[in-house]
Structure 1
Amino acid sequence: MSGQQELQIDEDLSSKLLRKGKQSPFLMLGIAGLIGTCAYGAYKFKHRGQMSTSIFLMQLRVAAQGVAIGSLTLGMLYHMYVDYVVKAPKKE
């Protein structure tokens, strides 16, 4: 692949991510939550004390799932608000 083709692919992916971010802003919240949870887990892994690695990773997985479900819930509530409150159907 030439440098121009790689640049074109990167531009396409970044523009697609920006478009999806504008369509659903909670996608970015979910991605930020994932990165934050992973960073927190990496930091805390070193200071876990006597806790076994498997227990620590299970707790980290539950935290990551909580962030994902919270982001999905907020996104769903936002879209319901926009669809049913802001753009309320006109009564005939």
Structure 2
Amino acid sequence: MSSDSEVSYSSTVEESGSSKFIKKSKESPFVPIGIAGFLAVAAYGIYKARQRGDTKLSVHLIHTRVAAQGFVVGAMTCGVAYAMLREYWAKPKA
């Protein structure tokens, strides 16, 4: 066996999950915003499930899912726009 694979494996194992998340958050800050928004909308939908009135539970859950997905898609769209702005328009002219 090659020692290169052992070295790359050990360097990958040393980095913890939280440090990977922090590094990725700095590269693309809208990912944690999307995750937090999804969790907030889902929690609010579950909380409001008790006060849904005459609405069926399945319809309420579908509306909650659509709202959560909309928040995530919006965060992804903002992230792509931010990356395009940073890479193409705000790039210093050399």
Tell me whether the two structures share a fold, i.e. TM-score over 0.5: yes
Whole-angstrom CA distance in 1 between matches of 2:93 and 2:79: 21
Three-state SS of the structure 2 residue aligned to 1:50 is coil
Match 2:65 to one of 47, 54, 61: 61
Query: Scaled by the length of structure 1, what TM-score is found?
Result: 0.81
Give 2:18's aligned residue. Answer: 14
Aligned length: 81
2:86 is the alignment partner of 1:82: yes
The superposition leaves residues 21-71 of structure 1 with CA deviations (integer Å, 9 ceiling, x where unpaired) of: 001000111011011111111111111011101100110111011001101
Percent of residue pairs bearing the same amino acid type: 43
2:38 is the alignment partner of 1:34: yes
Structure exhibiting the larger radius of gyration computed from Cα positions: 2
Displacement of 1:88 after TM fit? 5.2
Match for 2:28: what amino acid? S
Query: Scaled by the length of structure 2, what TM-score is found?
Result: 0.79
Displacement of 1:89 after TM fit? 5.4
Three-state SS of the structure 1 residue aligned to 2:16 is helix
Q: What's the RMSD between the two structures over aligned residues?
A: 1.6
Whole-angstrom CA distance in 1 between matches of 2:42 and 2:93: 42
Stretches of structure 2 that go unaligned for 5 or more consecutive residues are 1-12
Runs of 4 or more above 6 Å deviation: none
Asked whether the 8 Å contact 2:42–2:65 carries over to 1, the reply is no
Whole-angstrom CA distance in 2 between matches of 1:34 and 1:70: 11
Displacement of 1:76 after TM fit? 0.5
